[in-house]
Amino acid sequence: MLCVSKTNRSLSPVAGGGIGKAYAMAFAKEGAKVSLPDIATADHVVKAIQDMGGTAISMKCDVTDEKSVKAMVDATAKQFGTIDILINNAAYFMTVWKGPFWQMAVDEFDKAMAVNVRGSWLCAKAVVPYMQTQKKGEIIHISSNVALTGSPNYIHYVASKAQSSP
């Protein structure tokens, strides 16, 4: 997830690497203040943004935990004053179990749903009160092409990303 302040553009993605890092760097280049919550550290992205003269913060956040998400959103709003854009980019994918769905453990299925579906909902739920107070805001849910095309042995990932599809 990425939270952005647009007036000074505040943005927040879960963005320690990959596409989240690319979003964060692009918004920072445009002058956004960027919050980078992640289950792992995103300090390297914060440093890269600061090295180019931008403003960014990083904090640990478990998108499956409502208290963790609320604390992250509150800290971002306190630091930047606004949250103008939320990019729901967190995903359980890199270490996702691959195999026939009938051999998948229930915990594996639940983890994909918790991060990819519940996490998006919790993040949106936490930023909406700020956006309502501001009378503006944007929420962007990042999906995956597999939501439209499918992929063998990824039923839990495909189903979880389909919730964000157009």
Catalytic positions are 157
Tell me, what DSSP letter sits at residue 117?
I
* 8 Å CB contact between 3 and 12: yes
Cα–Cα distance for residue pair 37/83, rounded to 1 Å? 13
Give the C-alpha separation, 105 to 115, whole Å: 16
CA 57, 30, 2, 49: dihedral to nearest 10 degrees?
Answer: -30
